[in-house]
């Protein structure tokens, strides 16, 4: 569903951000295991710094599936991934709830 959303302008930004965040969270959760497996390859054994990305495969053009070109979506460092919209909403609700509670607590102090 997210990949299909990339076909229109409205869904493109939201779907891309969601894909990057979700795939990034999975990669960073298992980062050590992934890097240890990659380092078993002779060509990559000496590398210690990795950059992650992914590509949506075009089923009609299978020969380009493994070409790293401008269609690769880079995954930012873990600290820059951002939070899911639902987590942002929870934080906003908690903040509003805390502000309302503080308002009523302070209101009671004014009348004393």
Q: Read off the pLDDT of residues 45-58 as tens digits, 9 standing for 90 and up.
A: 888 889 999 888 87
39's CB contacts (< 8 A; 6+ apart) are 45, 47
For tokens 């009348």, the residue is: 111
Distance CA 31, CA 36 (A): 8
Q: Where are the beta strands (DSSP E) in 1-112?
A: 52-54, 73-75
pTM listed for this prediction: 0.60
Distance CA 35, CA 4 (A): 30
Confidence bin at 85 (pLDDT 50/70/90): low
Average pLDDT value for residue range 26-35: 93
């Amino acid at each position: 569903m997210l990949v299909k959303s990339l076909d229109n302008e409205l869904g493109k930004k939201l779907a891309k951000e969601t894909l990057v965040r979700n795939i990034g969270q999975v990669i960073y959760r298992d980062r050590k295991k992934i890097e240890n497996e990659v380092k078993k390859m002779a060509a990559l054994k000496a590398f210690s710094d990795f950059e992650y990305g992914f590509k949506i495969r075009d089923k009609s053009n299978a020969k380009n599936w493994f070409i790293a070109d401008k269609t690769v979506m880079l995954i930012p460092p873990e600290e820059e991934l951002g939070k899911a919209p639902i987590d942002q909403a929870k934080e906003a609700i908690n903040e509003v709830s805390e502000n309302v509670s503080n308002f009523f607590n302070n209101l009671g102090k004014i009348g004393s």
